[in-house]
A and B are shown apart, each in its own frame.
Chain A
Amino acid sequence: MSNRLAYLRRLTASGAVAAALLAPAALVATAAGPTLAQEQVQKGGTLNVIVQPEPPILVLGLNQQGPTQTVAGKIYEGLLRYDHDLNPMPGLAESWEVSPDGLTYTFKLRQNAKWHDGAPFTTKDVVFTTSKFLPEVHPRARANFSHVESVEAPDDHTVTFKLKQPFPAFLKAFEVSSAPMMPAHIYEGSDYKQNPKNSTPIGTGPFKFEQWVKGSHIHLVRNGDYYLDGKPYLDGIYFRVIPDAASRALALESGQVDISQYNDVEPFDVPRLKELPHLTMTTKGYEFVAPLSWIEINTRTAPLDDKRFRQALAHGLNREFIRDRIWFGLGRVATGPVNSVTPFHEPDVPGYEYDTDKAEELLDEMGLEPNGSGVRAEITLTPMPYGETWARLGEYIKQSWGKIGVKVNLESTDVAGWVQKVSNWDYQTTNNFVYQYGDPSLGVARTYISDNVRKGVMFSNTMGYSNPKVDELFAKAAVENDPKQRGAQLGEAQKILVGDLPVIWLLEMEFPTFVNKRVHNAVTTAIGTSDNFADTWVEKK
């Protein structure tokens, strides 16, 4: 025992001496670090990335859940990619052109792109994907490509979309999860959902599917035939399924995994992990989805059908507190229906600061007097069953609204029950967060227009909100080619919505992406870690 102790002591002592000797050298190295690192891309190595929950299937055209995107975003590609400001960049399309009247979109495809089984990628695949495959199985793409009058392919590497009327958001419809290119030679003429090749996805991306050990991991390997010279740099990627949030945090901490994203880490673990020397955190890479969280209100039921009641509820919440104490500083307080990182955000709207007096005034005005125990009204809240943080939010809302005399009954469910309740309008209030997909016409209008009040359909206008003026403005803006006009229409719609308050906007959400410092270029575009990792490389251990 004493021997071992002595040995340990010697070891630490020599370690300290060595550290002292090396310290100046290390300082010099870090000073020179950034420029050095830029130049010396190291090839090889594998990454360990958390994927949670386990995706049901990896064929991105058939399933667009977050975890599917994380993995399949390396296998499949879209025609375009988008930088952090949502400007289009080349993907499978080398270049593109939009006619001045906004009716014709022409894409030039890569000459040397190939499917993982060796077949060349051509316009045949693009035409099949956008006119047959996606409109049949992909709800978002179905809506986007419904604007297309015809798709034409004058040659193998040029494809032209003719639209029925201008639809400026169309250029945002080619991101990999919105329109993943699918191999026509595998799917054409088959029952897409039952295709036996679905278990071995074939894409054009920098990584190929290798193995899926259900419940444990998915293994992708380098596509040696990728069309960009020398890329990708990594030999392979392991996506690890880790169901428990605390275990995921510990896995990052112990270095067993290199990357986490979205909800992988619960907000309360973020401050601790941020301090760790081997990890970096970024909130970039979510600009395309630009999630916005809100309290969804069933406006069909009293007293929630009264605008003043909803405004009172808005005044009864401290959204800075929600951001700072429940989300541990992640996110920005939302002012309206459009996330400020996407175009056409309108800053000049009525505000709902935390003010219980104002809230009670509004309730008084409605004639809702407190009873003997101070209760003016009673409503139910069905918190979103997406992890602990949403449960905490539910408890906070209950307490806050209790202070203005609105008694809240919490009603807990699991995901299936929640979707059933909300989509069938069998709720009073709930939380939700919804993605915006880079343009108000793609990801915002759908929540508020009357056309989208559809029973049984999730992420539609489940509030039952209807305002003809808003409908008209969104409809006009969708087909308005002049950005200035469009901005004015969308701005007016936002002002009306903020006054009507069909939902109470909470936060423009930010997700923490933790990346081991060995890993470079993990987040380079507006879809962050869901992008293809062609540029990602790791330092040798």
Chain B
Amino acid sequence: MAAIASFLGRRLIKSVFILFAIVVINFMLVRAAPGDPAMVMAGEAGAADQQYVEQLREQFGLDRPLYEQLGIYLADVATGDLGFSYRQQRPVWDLIADRLPPTLILTGCAFILALTAGILLGTLAAMNVGRWSDTAITVLALLSYATPIFWVGLMLILLFSVQLGWLPAFGYETVGGGYQGWDRVTDIATHLILPVVTLGLFYMAVYARLTRASILEVSDMDFVKTARAKGLTETRIVFRHVLRNAILPVITFAGIQAGQLVGGSILVETVFAWPGIGRLAFDAVLQRDYQVLLGIFFVTSVMVIAFNIITDLVYSLVDPRIEVA
């Protein structure tokens, strides 16, 4: 327990430095792109004059020198203030707080679906290696892996929303439905199905292939032969001895995916008009909404760091030979 506490302490201190570096680098990178929010708004407005653009620059605080802007931003972030989006007329925190839950629900469900289905399918394929079920799973994994994610989404909408009319084509919940309590949960769940499947398929394929390969590698090892010689049942051998050893690469990858949960869903959020943070980030890039973009970078960085720590902890739980450090 003490080991874990000191591990967490050291990682947290490191994290603060990493975050500081991330904020500064992001600030510089974001400003390296051509154009600014005033330019974008002038371009969108269809008519502009000098005064209009200057007014906007002043409003966005872009008329000050860059180092001054960075200083102000760092001071704000240190006090927990992520700034104000003049474009959207709201504090960045509010924007992120509004858009983060839908993304977490979407990517969380996709993550669970991908992980459970992927490991199950991969194990199944490895147990039946060379037989038709193995071939079927491998082909399915290959297809899901290779097909562009937005195309899968559109095809699912075409089939289940337009042709069959079973599921809603887009959105987070029925707008104007006024559902409360369980009805609302069910309503959101029906809206979740298509985007979760779309987003989950790709990672499911990855996990299935990783699990299958890893199990096949481990199955040839001596301790498995010993287990078999002892006369254990095949199921017990697979779940107790093989899978536990084979799962480590899958955990590594799942850790990476968990870190990307927030950013990885831009395409799916776009296709399904999901009001999530991926789209918020994408729009912020196109609109050069610096404060929002930096805020999202900050929040996602914190999440990546957190998931890295969690992954390291999970390692040591699954395989006690690995020590946290």
Contact = CB atoms under 8 A, between A and B. Distances in A.
Most buried by A among B39, B46, B88, B275: B46
A217 B42 CA distance: 24
Contacts of B53: 456-457
B34 A416 contact: yes
B175 A416 contact: no
A383 B162 CA distance: 34
A199 B43 contact: no
A373 interface: no
Interface in B6-55: 33-37, 39-53, 55
Contacts of B89: 56-57, 198-199
A215 B99 CA distance: 8
A256 B169 contact: yes
A205 to B, nearest CB: 20
A247 B169 contact: yes
Given A215-B98, A216-B172, A417-B33, A56 B88 contact: yes
Chain A interface, DSSP helix/strand/loop, else mixed:
mixed
B100 to A, nearest CB: 11
B272 A247 contact: yes
Interface stretch (A25-33, A235-243, A278-286, A483-491): A235-243
A214 B95 contact: yes
A416 B157 contact: no
Interface string A381-422: 000000000000000000000000000000001111111110
A454 interface: yes
A304 to B, nearest CB: 22
Contacts of A458: 39, 42-43, 48
B161 interface: yes
Interface string B139-174: 000000000001000100110011001001111100
A435 interface: yes
B46 A434 contact: yes
B99 A214 contact: yes
A507 to B, nearest CB: 17
Contacts of B98: 213-215
Contacts of A194: 59
A376 interface: no
Interface stretch (A136-144, A317-325, A469-477, A498-506): A136-144
A420 B47 contact: no
A459 interface: yes
B24 to A, nearest CB: 22
A55 to B, nearest CB: 10
A294 to B, nearest CB: 15
B279 interface: yes
Most buried by A among B36, B47, B53, B158: B47
A66 B46 CA distance: 9
B56 to A, nearest CB: 9
Most buried by A among B40, B55, B270: B40
Interface in A180-224: 193-194, 198-199, 213-217, 219
A215 B279 contact: yes
A426 to B, nearest CB: 10
Contacts of A434: 46
Interface in B84-116: 86-90, 95, 98-99
Contacts of B283: 53-54
Given A46-B176, A216-B275, A256 B170 contact: yes
B322 interface: no
Nearest to B173: A216
Contacts of A417: 33-35
Interface string B251-281: 0000000000000000000111101100110
A254 B171 CA distance: 14
Given A247-B169, A250-B161, A216 B175 contact: yes
Interface string A443-459: 00010000000101111
Nearest to B269: A243
A525 interface: no
A251 interface: yes
Nearest to B277: A215
Most buried by B among A137, A194, A415: A415
A423 interface: yes
Query: Which interface class (under 10, 10 to 19, 20 to 34, 35 or more) fits A?
Result: 35 or more
A65 B44 CA distance: 6
B212 interface: no
A253 interface: yes
A199 B85 CA distance: 13
Interface in B58-90: 59, 86-90
A244 interface: yes
B49 to A, nearest CB: 4
A242 to B, nearest CB: 4
A56 B45 CA distance: 11
Contact of B161 (A139, A254, A423): A254
Contacts of A53: 283
Contacts of A311: none
Given A56-B87, A139-B49, A415-B44, A250 B162 contact: yes
A242 B49 CA distance: 31
A246 interface: yes
Given A65-B46, A214-B98, A414-B286, A139 B51 contact: yes
Contacts of B175: 48, 216-217, 219, 238, 240
Given A64-B45, A216-B171, A456 B50 contact: yes
A244 B176 contact: no
A53 B270 CA distance: 12
A359 to B, nearest CB: 32
Contacts of B40: 415-416, 419
Contacts of B37: 416
A242 B170 CA distance: 8
A418 B168 CA distance: 36
Interface in B282-301: 283, 286-288
Contacts of B158: 250
A419 B47 CA distance: 12
A63 interface: yes
Contacts of B39: 416, 419-420, 423, 458
A435 B46 contact: yes
A48 B171 CA distance: 13
A295 to B, nearest CB: 18
23 contacts: A56-B88, A56-B89, A65-B46, A142-B51, A198-B89, A199-B89, A216-B175, A242-B170, A246-B154, A247-B169, A247-B270, A250-B169, A254-B162, A256-B161, A256-B168, A416-B34, A416-B287, A418-B35, A423-B39, A434-B46, A456-B53, A458-B43, A458-B48
Interface pairs A-B: 9 shortest CB-CB: A416-B35, A215-B275, A419-B43, A216-B275, A417-B34, A420-B35, A242-B273, A419-B39, A139-B49
Given A236-B176, A416-B35, 5 more contacts: A56-B89, A142-B51, A214-B95, A215-B99, A423-B42
